Amino acid sequence: MGDLERLEQIAEELIKTFEIYAPPVPIETMLRDPKNNMWETVDVNQISGTFLSIRDQYSPRMSLARLLARHVATSPWGKARGLLDILRKDEENIKAFARMLIMPREMVNSLPGSARNPLAMTHEFEVPEEDASLRLAELDSI
């Protein structure tokens, strides 16, 4: 099994743990209220504006998704699943894992065909169009 498929499985497990069934994925809530003390609570209101990328109206959500990816990876839960090792191999794996968290495979695949395009996904998942496009390409390659 490749790293991307393993990341997909870990993302799916995390989404199920948080009982999230429909977009948009509540990234801020996941950071603020981890289940079973999975990681340190993050007060998203205290995050500096310089941390958040603001190229697009949804760019801050992607910044928070990458922060969540790093928190999960360094948590005991993430380490137990080998997540930290996978993410350390390549910086792009962190970005891909963040996209998997905010646009879970199962949710993307459940979209009607007419909604499986970057523009529609931007509104459905509240993500930048560029990230939606990358996510669709990732799903086609796995």
How many C-beta neighbours within 10 Å does residue 7 have? 24
pLDDT tens per residue, range 90-132: 999 999 999 999 999 999 999 999 999 999 999 999 999 999 9
Q: How far is CA 130 from CA 5, 62, 120, 136, in A?
A: 21, 11, 12, 10
pLDDT of residue 57: 85
pLDDT of residue 53: 54
CA gap 69, 39 in Å, rounded: 11
pTM over 0.75: yes
Helix segments in 41-117, DSSP class H? 59-74, 76-80, 83-89, 91-102, 105-109
CA gap 119, 17 in Å, rounded: 29
